[in-house]
């Protein structure tokens, strides 16, 4: 059984792999069988920027789950967080691959956002499992809303990017539902508001950087 120090080392390794290693997906990439559209340079730039935001969001999700796993008081909750983190790793792979195809780049701010999200996750986990799971549920709901807005902003012909976002949207909804089933508490309105403001900062900055 891992002690607290072993767990800390494991989560530190997770952070390094999230930020520096090439992510892999067990599932086939959602856009694998979809032909590339004839996009203009402006459309590629727009799609690339949106996918960069989504990639950073997945980096934050990894950090959040890692921080929560470190301080979680329940083995069942930790297992649920680990499973969600595994699927978020696949999202990282899909986003990174599509970003490369579009000739764009991942955000330069990812290390900063990882550190901030890890800290928030550790605090949420320490407060208690029901609040930690409530944080997961609300995060996934807000991510889902962002993904919906991105679908509206994408070029209509870019079906490859659209398919990736749609699958991510489905997975995020599943994570929110699973958190609720595991006993997630309803977060207070001020906490939800603060989370939205932090999310706006992340999306607006990573869109350009």
pLDDT at 92: 87
The token pair at 26 is 């067990």
pLDDT tens column, 174-196: 888 888 887 888 888 888 888 78
Percentage of the chain lying above the pLDDT 70 cut = 89
Place of tokens 């932090």: 198
Going by the annotation, the residues of the binding site for Fe cation are: 58, 88, 91, 140, 172, 175
* In the block, residue with structure tokens 């892999």: 24
Q: Which domains does the chain have, with CATH numbers?
A: 41-208 (1.20.1260.10)
Task: Report which of residues 136 and 85 the model is more confident about.
Answer: 136
* 50, 56, 58, 64: CA torsion to nearest 10: -150
Convert the pLDDT of each residue in 78-95 to its tens digit. Answer: 777 777 777 778 888 899
Residue 1 has pLDDT above 50, yes or no: no
Which positions make up the binding site? Answer: 58, 88, 91, 140, 172, 175
């Amino acid at each position: 059984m891992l002690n607290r120090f072993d767990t800390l080392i494991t989560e530190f390794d997770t952070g390094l792999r999230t930020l520096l290693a090439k992510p892999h997906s067990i599932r086939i990439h959602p856009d694998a069988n979809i032909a590339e559209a004839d996009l203009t340079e402006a459309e590629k730039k727009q799609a690339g920027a949106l996918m960069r935001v989504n990639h950073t969001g997945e980096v934050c999700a990894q950090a959040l789950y890692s921080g929560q796993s470190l301080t979680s008081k329940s083995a069942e909750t930790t297992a649920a967080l680990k499973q969600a983190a595994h699927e978020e790793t696949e999202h990282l792979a899909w986003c990174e691959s599509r970003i490369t195809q579009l000739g764009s780049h991942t955000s330069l701010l990812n290390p900063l956002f990882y550190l901030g999200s890890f800290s928030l996750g550790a605090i949420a986990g320490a407060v208690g499992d029901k609040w930690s799971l409530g944080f997961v549920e609300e995060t996934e709901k807000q991510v889902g809303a962002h993904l919906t807005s991105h679908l509206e902003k994408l070029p209509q012909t870019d079906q490859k990017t659209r398919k990736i976002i749609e699958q991510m949207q489905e997975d995020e909804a599943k994570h929110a539902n699973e958190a609720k089933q595991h006993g997630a508490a309803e977060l207070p309105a001020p906490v939800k508001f603060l989370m939205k403001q932090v999310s706006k900062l992340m999306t607006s900055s990573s869109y350009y950087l």
